[in-house]
């Protein structure tokens, strides 16, 4: 069974280690079976694509996946990396940034 993570599609994250350390972006996809995420504009690779009827082909830049442990949520207040906590407000469980206590979008 695939693991459940605190990072979801659409979250703003920062890369904490590796070639793109310090860069920020939005999560495009969470690959739960492989514990990896694709982040917009991060870990760019170039792939040779064969031409198809709807696509001219050529060399295409695209985002490769990163391991989920190499990214962290961005604190809405300070803009730095933060861990995630949970709170129940009005019967709804929400994610909060541990650094500032603010709700994560």
Q: How do residues 9-35 score in pLDDT, each as one tens digit?
A: 999 999 999 999 999 999 999 999 999
- Domain ranges in the chain are 12-97
pTM to 2 decimal places: 0.87
Closest residue by Cα to residue 42 from 69, 59, 55, 61: 61
Strand partners for 73: 13, 82
CA-to-CA dists, residue 32 to 4, 23, 36, 61, angstroms: 7, 22, 7, 23
The architecture (CATH level 2) of 12-97 comes to Roll (2.30)
Closest residue by Cα to residue 17 from 46, 42, 44: 42
Span 91-103, pLDDT tens digits: 999 999 999 999 9
pLDDT at 18: 94
pLDDT at 88: 95
């Amino acid at each position: 069974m695939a693991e459940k993570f605190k990072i979801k599609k659409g979250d703003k994250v920062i890369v904490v280690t590796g070639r793109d350390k310090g860069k920020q972006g939005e999560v495009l996809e969470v690959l739960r079976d492989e514990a990896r995420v694709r982040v917009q504009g991060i870990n760019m690779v170039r792939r040779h694509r064969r031409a198809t009827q709807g696509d001219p082909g050529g060399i295409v830049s695209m985002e490769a996946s990163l391991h989920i442990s190499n990214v962290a949520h961005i604190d809405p207040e300070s803009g730095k990396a933060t861990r995630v906590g949970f709170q129940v407000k009005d019967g709804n469980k929400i994610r909060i940034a541990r650094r500032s206590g603010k709700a994560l979008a």
